[in-house]
Amino acid sequence: MLNRRQFLALGVTVGGAAALPFSQLIPADANEAEPIHKGYHLGKRTSGTGVRPAVTAFTEQMPVPPTVQAAQSAGGMDIYMIPIRASTAEFIPGKQTPVLTYAGSFVGPTIRAKTGRPVKVVYANQLDQPANVHLHGGHVPAASDGHPMDVIQPGQTRVYDYPNLQQGATLWYHDHSHHTEAEHVYRGLHGFYLIEDEAEQGLGLPSGQYDVPIMLRDAEFDKDGGLIFFDDPANRTTILANGKIQPFFPVAARKYRIRLLNASNEHVFQLNLGGQEMVQIASDIGLLPAPVPLTELVLASAQRAEIVIDFSRFAVGTKVVLSNGSEPVLRFDVVRKALDLSRLPATLRPLPPLPTATAEREVAMSFDLSSSSPVGLVNGKPYDPNRVDFQIKRGTTEIWNVINADNVEGVDIDHTFHMHMTHFRVLDRDGGKPPLPQDAGLKDTVRVPPRSRVRVQASFPDYLGKYVYHCHYLEHSSLGMMAQMEIVP
C-alpha cells in the first residue's frame, strides 16, 4: 500500500467503487514532517489543512493580465525587463496572500511577440533563492531554454533570447529551477507569451480587447488565505481564472477569441459552457487546420486551447458560465451590443506534411514506489543532469512511443508528456487508435492516462544542445520524471 507521502507526491486517484476515502489511506503517524523533495520554501510551511475560501461567486471582475511594455525597441527587436520577486495577491477579499511573481503580479505580464521579430527579456532574480524561466512551447536556442540546471542566482540578472522563428501561438513562461519548479510555479511564477504571425492577422479573427488570455489553474488555501503547497494536489479544489476565484467578465454581444491555458501543476480540466457551443481554433502550438465546434474541452496541465465564443447569440443581460465539469469557474456577462467585423474563417492554417521518421524510440514514465519517498523515472531512471538519455542527430524527425508505465493495482496514476525546443504531432494512441480531439494540431504537451501509450512525431531541424523532456505534472518532474536529449550535428 502506498503511504501518505507517496500519495501526496503522486496526486493519484484511487479507482474503483471500493476505494477508501483519501484520509483513511493515510497512516496516522505518517505526517508531513519532511518535505517530499528538497528545495527552498517560501515563508512558513503551511499545515496542509485546506479551507474552502469564503468568496461569493461572480462578485469580482476577472482581470486581463497587463501586456508588458518594451523597455527598448531598437534594431528590429524588443527588450523587456522583468523582475522575479515576492509579492502578494488578493485572492480572498481582504486577505493578502504571499506569492512569487514575475513583475509583481500573480499572473505575470503578457509578452506579445511577432513572428520573425526577436525578443530579449532581462530577468532580474530578486528572490532569495535560485529561479529561472522556461518559455513553454518556444523554439529557442538551448542557452535561452531555461534548462533546470541553468538558473539565475539571487541578485543576478539573466538575458534570454527568443528569436520567435515560429508561427503564431499561445505560449507561456514559467519557472523551471531544478527541484523547485513545482513550488515556484504553484506560487505564481507563470505568465503568457503570445506570438502572432502575419498570416494569422490576415484571417480577421477577433483581436485587441476581444482577444483575451485566461490562465486557469487550481489552488488550495489555508484559513489565512495562504497557498498550501505540501499536500495532495487533489485537494487543490479552488480554481482561479486569471488569479480570481469565480469571477465575472463583462463581454459585448460579439465574437471573442479566448486563449485558455491550464497552468495547474496537476489537473485536467473539463471545460464547458453548460452545453453551449464553443469553437476551438488552436491548440498548444497555434491554429488548427479548421475550426472545431465542441461543447466540452479537455485541457491537461500546461496545455493551451484557443476558442471563439460568439456572444451575439445571446441577448444583452445573458450570463454564460464557463465550468469545469459542474463547477463554475468564470461567468461571462453579456452587457452590451457591439459591431463585429471579425471573422471565423472555415480554414485556418494547414498542418505541415509529416516527413518520414528516421528513428523510433520508447519513453516510459513511471514512479519507483519501493521507498517511502517516490522517485520519478523515465525509462527506469530518475533525472540526472550529467547524463544524456537520447542523442539525436540534427535534421532528423523521430517517432516517440510514450508509455505510462505505472501499473499499481487499483490506483490510477496519470502522466503528461512535454518536450522542450520542438513540437510534435500525435500519431495514435494505444497501438493504433486515433488521437483524441484534444490531441489535434501541433502540440508540445500530451496527456498519457493510466495504462496507456501515445505515439508522437517530432522534428529536430536546427538547434543543437541539451534540452529536457518530462512529465508536466510538476510534482512528478521535480521528483525526477524528466530526462535529457542532446541534439548533435
Q: Which residues bind ligand C2O (CB under 6 A)?
A: 134, 136, 174, 176, 302, 418, 420, 468, 470, 472
CA distances from 93 to 55, 213, 219, 323, 460 (A): 8, 23, 16, 22, 48
Sign of CA dihedral 206, 211, 217, 222: negative
Specify the DSSP class assigned to residue 311: G
CB of 338 to ligand C2O, least distance (A): 35
CB of 90 to ligand C2O, least distance (A): 27
- Closer to ligand C2O at the Cβ: 177 or 242? 177
| Extended beta strands in 247-358, E state | 248-253, 255-262, 268-272, 278-283, 286-294, 296-300, 304-310, 319-324, 327-337
Q: Which residue has the cell 511594455?
A: 69
Q: Which does 456 bind (CB under 5 to 8 A by kind): ligand C2O, Cu ion, none?
A: none
Q: Is 45 helix (H, G, I), strand (E, B) or coil?
A: coil
- Closer to Cu ion at the Cβ: 113 or 471? 471
CB of 57 to ligand C2O, least distance (A): 30
Q: Which one of 190, 415, 420, 455 is in contact with Cu ion (CB under 5 A)?
A: 415
- Closer to ligand C2O at the Cβ: 173 or 210? 173
Q: Which does 4 bind (CB under 5 to 8 A by kind): Cu ion, ligand C2O, none?
A: none
The residue among 373, 451, 463, 358 whose CA lies nearest residue 419 is 463
- Closer to ligand C2O at the Cβ: 190 or 453? 190
CB of 483 to Cu ion, least distance (A): 12
Answer whether 79's CB lies under 8 Å from 70's CB.
yes
CB of 211 to ligand C2O, least distance (A): 22
Helix and strand numbers, DSSP H then E, in the chain: 4, 33
CB of 474 to ligand C2O, least distance (A): 8
CB of 289 to ligand C2O, least distance (A): 25
CB of 2 to Cu ion, least distance (A): 15
Q: How many CA atoms lie within 13 A of 325 on its CB side?
A: 6
- Closer to Cu ion at the Cβ: 106 or 383? 383
Which of the residues 446 through 485 are near Cu ion (CB under 5 A)? 471, 473, 476
Q: 421 in the Ramachandran plot: left (φ > 0), alpha (ψ -120 to 50) or beta?
A: left
Count of CB atoms situated within 10 Å of the CB of 18:
7
- Closer to Cu ion at the Cβ: 184 or 476? 476
Sign of CA dihedral 270, 272, 277, 282: negative
Answer whether 420's CB lies under 8 Å from 403's CB.
no
Q: Which stretch binds Cu ion (CB under 5 A): 112-120, 278-286, 298-306, 414-422?
A: 414-422
Q: Which does 443 bind (CB under 5 to 8 A by kind): ligand C2O, Cu ion, none?
A: none
- Closer to ligand C2O at the Cβ: 134 or 425? 134
Answer whether 91's CB lies under 8 Å from 53's CB.
yes
Q: Which does 37 bind (CB under 5 to 8 A by kind): ligand C2O, Cu ion, none?
A: none
Are β-strands 248-253 and 327-337 bridged in parallel, bridged antiparallel, or unpaired? parallel
Q: Which does 136 bind (CB under 5 to 8 A by kind): Cu ion, ligand C2O, none?
A: ligand C2O
CB of 444 to ligand C2O, least distance (A): 8
Report the residue count for the chain.
489
Phi then psi for 144, rounded to 5 degrees? -110, 15
Count of CB atoms situated within 10 Å of the CB of 57:
14
Q: Which residue has the cell 510534435?
A: 424
- Closer to ligand C2O at the Cβ: 287 or 302? 302
Q: Which does 254 bind (CB under 5 to 8 A by kind): ligand C2O, Cu ion, none?
A: none
Instruction: Tell me the per-residue interface mask from 239 to 268 with Cu ion, x by CB under 5 A, - otherwise.
Output: ------------------------------
Q: Which does 415 bind (CB under 5 to 8 A by kind): ligand C2O, Cu ion, none?
A: Cu ion
Please give the grid coordinates belonging to residue 244.
480570481
- Closer to Cu ion at the Cβ: 257 or 476? 476
Q: Which does 476 bind (CB under 5 to 8 A by kind): Cu ion, ligand C2O, none?
A: Cu ion
Q: Which stretch binds Cu ion (CB under 5 A): 153-161, 239-247, 353-361, 409-417?
A: 409-417
CB under 8 Å to 411, separation ≥6 — which residues?
A: 2, 12, 13, 14, 15
CB of 384 to ligand C2O, least distance (A): 16
The residue ranges that bind Cu ion (CB under 5 A) are 415, 471, 473, 476
